[in-house]
Amino acid sequence: MTDDLLSRHRAVLPDWLALYYEHPIEITHGEGRHVWDSDGNRYLDFFGGILTTMTAHALPEVTKAVTEQAGRIIHSSTLYLNRPMVDLAERIAKLSGIPDARVFFTTSGTEANDTALLLATAHRRSNTVLAMRNSYHGRSFSAVGVTGNRGWSPTSLSPLQTLYVHGGVRTRGPFAGLDDYDFVAACVDDLKDLLGHSRPPAALIAEPIQGVGGFTSPPDGLYAAFREVLHERGVLWISDEVQTGWGRTGEHFWGWQAHARSGPPDMLTFAKGIGNGMSIGGVVARAEIMNCLDSNSISTFGGTQITMAAGLANLTYLLEHDLQGNARRVGGLLIERLRAAAAHVPAVREVRGRGLMIGIELTRPGTDEADPAAASAVLEAAREGGLLIGKGGGHDTSALRIAPPLSLNVAEAEEGAAILEDALRSIQ
């Protein structure tokens, strides 16, 4: 059956629509932190549909909310008052930390970032945007235009003039050998120099932890230091929280809070985990920025009642069960377990991350040369062992990405770590 579905997939869908595994699998159902494929195989899910199943598969509270809302009304567009949308917007605005916040809902992180770029360029009357090297912000024309990862940039054409800044990757690049203090200082000096040679930018868009880039991050405080430089020039800061938001890093609810010396960003974008599988994205911005558009705009599917009901139930569950705290506790155990396992595998260059957002970078032993073949081999071996993980990275997709649902328990963390250890050893 899977072979037949694969043939049909290839006959009608784009060649560039990537599939994992030499023999792709069809996931048919899930429960908690586990999923099953169409052959009846059970897997521990350490990727959650690309960090999207944030709390748990088939979470009863979310399933009930979706079912009850579907029995009333599924959709009406933003042309009509929408109580679930207002309810969720109120909660997100308060949680965002942005003063006088306004929330606009979209259907994806790509669309959220696209909207933030529209707002920034309209507000600042500039189409110049600063972005980070190794970054990823989505697959729309404008989002691709600010993506600093060549593996996800299919065209150099863009409606924006994008300038790329150092700092998103701590252990590579010209400043990698510096200590944290000097690293931040060097990146700030580079930013100042760049601003001296360009037209005034609209904004800096940055992921606090780079997702597709392999879960890389700068030292805490880098974006606060950037913010001080940008604020003097009126340049906005957009924090792309599509992957880091909602407590996944454990230490903070938002990724920007690791850089909080200068306060919240002017805008933040979100998506993925808030819907626990439902299509929700959005932008939070100060009112003066959100309200700067001087033409009509609506959203047909952003904020639709059924997705808002799911988001409300999911957010309530996350907060009431302190899943941020669980990510900190269980994630801390998991990352230490993985570091201990990786210490005996020469191909592992680095184990990094926070909370339940962990990256394992693979290189050819004794070098800094990326080894995408090794990453693919570990991905396959983990699946054979009953574990689903992801991969990414700015250096030829040589990083493994580990991001389980935030309700992961200690026994499941130990089980997943053991499977990963065996998978890593299998490539030696």
What is the CATH number for 334?
Answer: 3.90.1150.10
pLDDT at 216: 95
pLDDT at 396: 75
pLDDT at 360: 97
How many whole angstroms from its chain centre is CA 68? 29
Residues 222, 120, single domain; the answer is: yes
Contact at 8 Å (CB) between 201 and 126? Answer: yes
Among 320, 342, 367, the domain boundary falls at 320
Residues 184, 208, single domain; the answer is: yes
| Residue matched to tokens 């790329």 | 164
Among 273, 291, 320, the domain boundary falls at 320
The whole domain housing 352 covers 2-58+322-425
Q: What span, in angstroms and rounded, lies between the C-alpha atoms of 300 and 53?
A: 24
Residues 122, 248, single domain; the answer is: yes
Residues 306, 330, single domain; the answer is: no
pLDDT at 242: 98
Q: What span, in angstroms and rounded, lies between the C-alpha atoms of 60 and 65?
A: 8
Q: What span, in angstroms and rounded, lies between the C-alpha atoms of 330 and 334?
A: 6
Residues 108, 184, single domain; the answer is: yes
Q: What span, in angstroms and rounded, lies between the C-alpha atoms of 273 and 405?
A: 9
Read out DSSP for 335-380? Answer: HHHHHHHHTT-TTEEEEEEETTEEEEEEBSTTS--B-HHHHHHHHH
pLDDT at 311: 98
pLDDT at 394: 80
Q: How many domains does the chain have?
A: 2
pLDDT at 395: 66
Residues 18, 134, single domain; the answer is: no
pLDDT at 3: 87
Residues 28, 160, single domain; the answer is: no
pLDDT at 156: 87
The closest of 130, 164, 128, 167 to 149, measured between CA atoms, is 164
Residues 356, 413, single domain; the answer is: yes
Residues 122, 202, single domain; the answer is: yes
- Residue 166, both tokens: 């150092």
The closest of 362, 401, 120, 115 to 244, measured between CA atoms, is 401
Q: Sign (positive/negative) of CA torsion 201, 161, 223, 139?
A: positive
Residues 6+ apart with CB under 8 A from 391: 375, 376, 379, 397, 398, 399, 400, 401
Residues 247, 175, single domain; the answer is: yes
- For residue 303, CA distances in Å to 51, 73, 81, 256 come to 20, 13, 11, 24
Among 288, 320, 352, the domain boundary falls at 320
Under-70 pLDDT residues of the chain: 1, 395
Residues 303, 398, single domain; the answer is: no
Residues 278, 413, single domain; the answer is: no
